[in-house]
Amino acid sequence: MRKAITIPALGLAIFAGLQATTALADPIAKFYKGKQIKMIIRTKAGGGYDLNARMLMRHMTRHIPGKPRAININMTGGGGIKAANYVAQVAPRDGSVLTIVSGAIPMFQGLQITDKLKADMKAFSWIGVISTSNRVLAVWHTSSAKTFDDLTKNTITIGATGAGSPSVILPAVLNNVLGAKLKIITGYQSGSEIDAAMERGELVGRGSNPWSSWLASAPRLVRDKLVRPMVQVGFKSDPKLPGVVPLLKDLGKTPEQTEILTYVTKSFMTGFPFAVAQGVPADRVKALRVAFNATMKDQAFLKDAKRSRIEVDPTDGVALQKLITEIVDIKPGLREKVRAAITPPGSYYGKLERAKKKK
């Protein structure tokens, strides 16, 4: 009787000891154990980027060997350029710092339209995207604009955040390529401020927002049909959108227009992408990608996403790396056309281009 109890107990003790030894022998677990892993968020608290980043960090650390503690840091400025530059130039390149990158920044690099971006998006190691929900330009329900053609007939005021944000780029493309008459009003600090301005009658529409973000952060506007989607940006239609909403890439009337609109679509499909800086050891990048993929199937994460009204339709790090490379490596001839297409009159990027020509 004594042996029957002692031997299994001894076996369990040996097994536990082997597990502890294996964990200590795993260099990834050894590195992350007892550490803090930081998430640099390119916007202030609230909004799509912040919601996605914080939700990921609540769950992903369970799937990283060594189970580090998560810390979220909001770092605003330059439409996300400040955060990207910090991660590329200042933050440790050891896998202890992640960031959620502005979806437009890879396009900025490809188009060579800002001298403020010091980070190389191709050199970053990309971890994944929770969702690539189609971005939508929408108008307030009281607007007389019912179809895309209506946007080409009468001037409509559209709210946007800073220069170079998707909320400026999409209406600028519709104006420059397709002849829309959208008056872009910039300077709003967040998407929620733009929504409030529409409700006050200060604006007629909002330049861009992922449809999933509207469902998550402003469900009342969707539920009560207070916003009317006019154009969506994606490779296929979002089934959650009401009615028939044309895809940007299908609105081109010439091969040149279609080529421009397809590149813009590809650039917008980066969603809210997560990355680490260049130089992070390959085994840690692989571990973070594995942890991200595991999180996307984690039942606690999925319940959290449902509760937060965040759509989960992930792209893994390898596929995201390929997409970012294609966006940055744009053909020189197409680069000039897209740069002109996304530039609203009087923008910083327009001034930068004129300064280059003078030189």
pLDDT of residue 95: 96
The one-letter amino acid code at 79 reads G
Q: What is the spatial order of strands in the sheet that 182-185 belongs to? A: 182-185, 156-159, 205-210, 135-140, 227-233
> Shortest CA distance to 228 belongs to which of 160, 145, 165?
145
Angle (CA) 151 189 149, round 5°: 5
Q: Domain residues of the chain, as ranges? A: 29-132+270-328, 135-262+333-358
Q: How far apart are CA 48 and CA 68, in angstroms?
A: 24
Q: How far apart are CA 335 and CA 358, in angstroms?
A: 19
pLDDT of residue 355: 45
pLDDT of residue 183: 95
pLDDT of residue 149: 95
Q: What is the pLDDT along the chain (359 residues), one digit of tens a residue?
A: 444 445 555 555 555 554 444 444 699 999 999 999 999 999 888 777 898 999 999 999 999 999 999 999 999 888 789 999 999 999 999 999 999 998 889 999 999 988 899 999 999 999 999 988 899 999 999 999 999 999 999 999 999 987 778 899 999 999 999 999 999 998 887 888 999 999 999 999 999 988 888 888 788 999 999 999 999 999 999 988 988 999 999 999 999 999 999 999 999 999 889 999 999 999 999 999 999 999 999 999 999 999 988 889 999 999 999 999 999 999 989 999 999 999 887 554 544 444 455 55
Helix (H) or strand (E) holding 167: helix 166-178
> Shortest CA distance to 292 belongs to which of 127, 166, 172, 49?
127
Q: How far apart are CA 156 and CA 153, in angstroms?
A: 9
Tens digits of residue pLDDT in 241-256:
988 999 999 999 999 9
Q: How far apart are CA 124 and CA 118, in angstroms?
A: 12
311's tokens: 């759509």
Q: How far apart are CA 82 and CA 42, in angstroms?
A: 8
- With b for 16 or more beta-carbon neighbours within 10 A and e for fewer, the 30-54 pattern comes to ebbeeeebbbbbbbeeebbbbbbbb
Q: How far apart are CA 103 and CA 267, in angstroms?
A: 7
Q: How far apart are CA 149 and CA 160, in angstroms?
A: 21
Q: How far apart are CA 243 and CA 246, in angstroms?
A: 10
Q: How far apart are CA 333 and CA 354, in angstroms?
A: 18
**29-132+270-328: CATH superfamily:** Bordetella uptake gene, domain 1 (3.40.190.150)
34's tokens: 């007892």
Please determine, looking at this structure, whether the domain spanning 135-262+333-358 carries the CATH number 3.40.190.10: yes
Token pair 């799509």 is found at 48
Burial class (CB in 10 A: 0-12, 13-18, 19+), 23: middle
pLDDT of residue 102: 86
Q: How far apart are CA 17 and CA 156, in angstroms?
A: 69
Helix, strand or coil for residue 131? strand
**Alpha-carbon distances of 172 from 1, 21, 324, rounded to whole Å:** 82, 59, 22
Asked if the domains at 29-132+270-328 and 135-262+333-358 fall in one CATH topology, the answer is yes
- Cα–chain-centroid distance for residue 258? 24
331 — alpha (psi -120 to 50), left (phi > 0) or beta?
Answer: beta
